[in-house]
Amino acid sequence: MLTVALIGYGGMGKMHGKCYAALKDVVKLVAVADVTPESGVEKYAEEMGAKYYTSGNDLLAAETPDIIDICLPTFLHTEYSVKAMEKGCHVFCEKPICINEEEAKLLLETEKKTGVKVQVGQVVRFMKEYKWLKKAVDEGRYGKVISAVFTRLSCNPRWAWENWFNDPEKSGTMALDLHVHDVDFIRYLLGEPDTVESKCTRDSEGVLQQIFTTYTFGDTVVTSEGIWDYPDKFPFSPGFRVKMEKGTAVLNRGLMFYPVDGDPFVPEMDAEFEGKLDAGLNVSSLGGYYTELRYFIEEIIEGNGKPIAPLSEAIKSAQLVWKEIESAGGKVKK
């Protein structure tokens, strides 16, 4: 049985917290830390039989679990991931992995030096609709990808701790925080683009709020759009349309496939967790979050071969976002 400590019990920390309750057969949560008592962290620690710390640094000073899971605001990812790696702990860190090239370099160097395993929360790689698409494209089941459109639309995440998402120095803006999900998946699906061109909109303070990017991969054309300043009641809407030679896959609330010949159908997707360890449940309501954490645990216990969401991949995705920001006029804030 592996041990894990969770740092950060905000929106994403609570999601991971639920996953650890569902992963009791393979991992024991030994400690959890959050600087905000109102987050409910103490009660959660009590329920899980774990220790509670009032800061991530206190936890790191006292605990050496097998895994440290970092669900902190992005500007703290590098500092805490490096400290955790230096302790010899495997690290699961939320996306986006880091804010700039300097941090990326330090993370890669520390990973190499310490030899621990690092997985980044590029959760879309583990979501069943996207997993289905990746497998279909890899197998060439419906022929070559001709074009694709990926979208991720949201209202503004003002609910976070100290409104950190809206500080471009802390989040890297919507492009790095939200849009990185699609950037990462597009790279996973099609590799590195030949060309990248972006345009963005900004708010009255000059902060990037919406980005439109066109990528080419040979003669395949892909676009993506990310936005997080739609009105507050606007529902979170991720989706895609991928046109292949023999049909078009559409994710819009649910996944549908429209073949060139024949009737549309709902594709059969893999269960959320597909691995060697017996999950004890088929499809988890915790979706890709459960799947990615269970996958990482399995990777540590048994090794999965080629990791799905390693540090190096998350860094390449962040680098592509930085390139897009540059293409859209540079600077996250003007």
Ligand X SMILES: NC(=O)c1ccc[n+]([C@@H]2O[C@H](COP(=O)([O-])OP(=O)(O)OC[C@H]3O[C@@H](n4cnc5c(N)ncnc54)[C@H](O)[C@@H]3O)[C@@H](O)[C@H]2O)c1
Q: Which parts of this chain interact with ligand X (CB under 6 A)?
A: 7-13, 33-36, 39, 55-56, 71-74, 76, 94-95, 121, 123, 160-161, 164, 177
Nearer to ligand X, 10 or 247 (CB): 10
Return d(Cα 168, Cα 175) in angstroms, integer. 10
What is the residue-wise DSSP string for 118-168?
EEE--GGGGSHHHHHHHHHHHHTTT--EEEEEEEEEEE--TTSGGGGGG-H
Least separation in angstroms between residue 292's CB and ligand X is: 9
Return d(Cα 32, Cα 45) in angstroms, integer. 6
Q: Which of 264, 243, 239 is nearest to 251 (CA)?
A: 239
Nearer to ligand X, 103 or 247 (CB): 103
DSSP 8-state assignment for residue 74: G
Least separation in angstroms between residue 39's CB and ligand X is: 5
Q: Which of 274, 287, 175 is nearest to 228 (CA)?
A: 175
In sequence order, the 6+-apart residues with CB closer than 8 A to the CB of 130 are 124, 185, 240, 251
Least separation in angstroms between residue 137's CB and ligand X is: 22
Least separation in angstroms between residue 220's CB and ligand X is: 27
Nearer to ligand X, 4 or 244 (CB): 4
Nearer to ligand X, 236 or 265 (CB): 236
Residue type, 18: K
Residue type, 179: H
Q: Give the residue nearest to ligand X (CB).
A: 10
Least separation in angstroms between residue 71's CB and ligand X is: 5
Least separation in angstroms between residue 197's CB and ligand X is: 25
Nearer to ligand X, 74 or 198 (CB): 74
Nearer to ligand X, 12 or 250 (CB): 12
Return d(Cα 73, Cα 288) in angstroms, integer. 20
